[in-house]
Amino acid sequence: MARTSEKLIIVLIGGAATLAYVFHELLKDAVDRWLSVRLEAVGGLFADVTERSISLTLTTVLAVVVVWALYARIRSEFAADLQERLRPKLACTFDMVDGDCVQTSTRAARPTAGTGTSAGRLTSFRLKVAADRIGSVEGCRARLVSVRRDHEVVLEGERLVLPFIPTNASDAVGKRIDAGVPELLEFLQISDRNTVDVPTVVRPNATNLRSLLLQPGDYTFVIIISSPESAATATPVLRWTGDWKTASVTL
């Protein structure tokens, strides 16, 4: 089976031949008249053959120039399209029924005032970040840039770094994402005590995210995942009722 490039060459050759014939039919009378005046002194068979040869050559050259210009244009567009297709891109997904995206763990018991020790459940919500083109995307870093509750701004003007899983790994804030192997980005935690938190790597002292996520409502998180080669924006929405059992996240 012929490749696309081979088919294109066949089409271009056929197009050049067709255009040469069309141009010849359209211009032959004008070219013949112009040449006949200049070859009138020669006369005979030689003049007739010369007229036809020059007429055919001119129309063929014109057809080749037009087809070559079209070919150069098509080749340029194909090259730009191929470069864009091969450029690594990032894609984010989330599904509440996906065990990788939603994971529940039991927190270790820890001392609490007046009650001895306490343990509980912690539900972590994670985006799946994948390279949706050929190759790998190096140095991926995620930042939470804003949070809105319904139409009210809860957090803005921050660039809070979010960790990839595992959160204690050296590449948690600079992950390499290979094609076909998505990585998990943790962006939200809800405890069985109905506390909502964002597991940022470094949290400014002035920002208390838990206090910002107390009231029920639909919270929209704007997260930017970027690398030197690409960037993507994810906007997961937390529907918070005040009860960890009924909380849900959509993307």
Question: pTM higher than 0.75 for the full model?
Answer: no
Q: How confident is the model at residue 151, as a pLDDT? A: 84
Q: What is the pLDDT of residue 126?
A: 94
Residue 131 CA to residue 108 CA, distance in Å, equals 35
Give pLDDT, residue 56.
66
> For residue 27, what pLDDT is reported?
58
Which 3 state secondary structure label does DSSP give 150? coil
The tokens describing 36, both together, are 């006949």
Question: Which string of DSSP letters, residue by residue, matches 188-240?
Answer: EEEETTS-EE---SS--TT--HHHHT-S-EEEEEEEEEE-SS-EEEE--EEEE
Instruction: Please tell me the predicted confidence (pLDDT) of residue 238.
Output: 93
pLDDT reported for residue 124: 92
Residue 63: its H or E element? helix 44-86
**Pick from 129, 132, 125: nearest CA to 97:** 125
pLDDT of residue 139: 87
**Can you give the pLDDT at residue 1?**
47
pLDDT of residue 70: 73
Residues 6+ apart with CB under 8 A from 11: none
Q: What are phi and psi of 163, to 5 degrees?
A: -95, 145
pLDDT of residue 162: 92
pLDDT tens, position by position, for the chain (251 residues)? 455 555 666 666 666 666 666 666 665 666 666 656 555 555 554 555 565 666 667 667 776 777 777 777 777 776 666 565 656 678 889 999 999 999 988 865 455 454 444 557 889 999 999 887 667 788 889 999 988 988 888 888 778 899 999 888 888 888 888 888 889 999 999 988 888 888 887 765 445 666 677 788 999 999 999 888 788 899 999 999 888 899 999 98
Rounded CA separation 46/34 (Å): 16
pLDDT of residue 153: 86
Q: Residue 87, CB half-sphere, CA atoms under 13 Å: how many? A: 11
Contact in structure between 161 and 141 (CB atoms under 8 Å): yes
Residue 226's pLDDT is what? 86
pLDDT attached to residue 173: 87
